[in-house]
Amino acid sequence: MDIGEIVEIERSQTIGTDGYKIRAKPVTTARKAPDEQQIRDTFQTPNYAIDLLIPFIPKHITHVWECASGGRKISRRLIEAGYTVSESDIQEAEPHVGKFNFITEKLGFKLSESWSIITNPPFSIKDLFISKCFDYKVPFALLINADYSQWQIDLIRRGCEKIIPTSRIAYITPHTVKRVNDAEGTDFISIDQIPMEFLYKYSNAQFHSMWLTYGFNLGKTETFVDLTSEQRRFNI
């Protein structure tokens, strides 16, 4: 079930002769706002999630466009792995991260065959990111929630393949610094200052995630990779 505004309505219905009460939780449609950044769109990616993907990146890929750079965790990990990374984000960021709206703007040049798009897209508009990635006609990998909804089935039919970890990925939330400081009596200013033991303790894993890939030529629709508790604890 997607994260979104959940309106909880309690109603009573009778089923057969058992008289069960059904508690219904209809989910409202999440608001899509490609021109603004929502809190739920700023969850940062732990290192281990990127490390799961790197072995599957096609050998001819040398350049990566990280188009929702945010806290730069994906970019920095890919740079450490030897890739040339171009970074952009909807918000003003560090000098080398260009301000660029991936949904509403378009690059002024064509990406060559050595390029790939790799990012953790904003949760609320991940479908728009996927659609836009197809427009650039290069391989891509997007970290999104894993399920068997119709739209994901349609993506598989379109040629996408999944890389699915055996455990949930725990994201670093926008409130992690405050949560750690409040609970542990610390005074950290940024996520980079927080020890991994605290990041592990206060990270969030509300749903199962996967890398949705296109053009990676994995050879099957689902590839499962081990994600151990050690990786989740010591490689954030």
Per-residue pLDDT of the chain (236 residues; tens, 9 = 90+): 333 332 222 222 333 334 433 333 344 345 555 555 544 446 899 999 999 999 999 999 999 999 999 889 999 999 999 999 999 999 866 677 899 999 999 998 999 999 999 999 998 899 999 999 999 999 999 999 999 999 999 999 999 999 999 999 999 988 999 999 999 999 999 988 999 999 999 988 889 999 999 999 999 999 999 999 999 999 99
pTM of the model: 0.81
Name the H helices within the chain.
47-53, 73-80, 126-136, 150-157, 176-184, 196-202, 229-234
Taking each continuous run of H as one helix and of E as one strand, the counts in the chain are 7, 10
Q: Which domains does the chain have, with CATH numbers?
A: 32-170+205-234 (3.40.50.150)
For the chain, give the longest Cα–Cα distance. 67
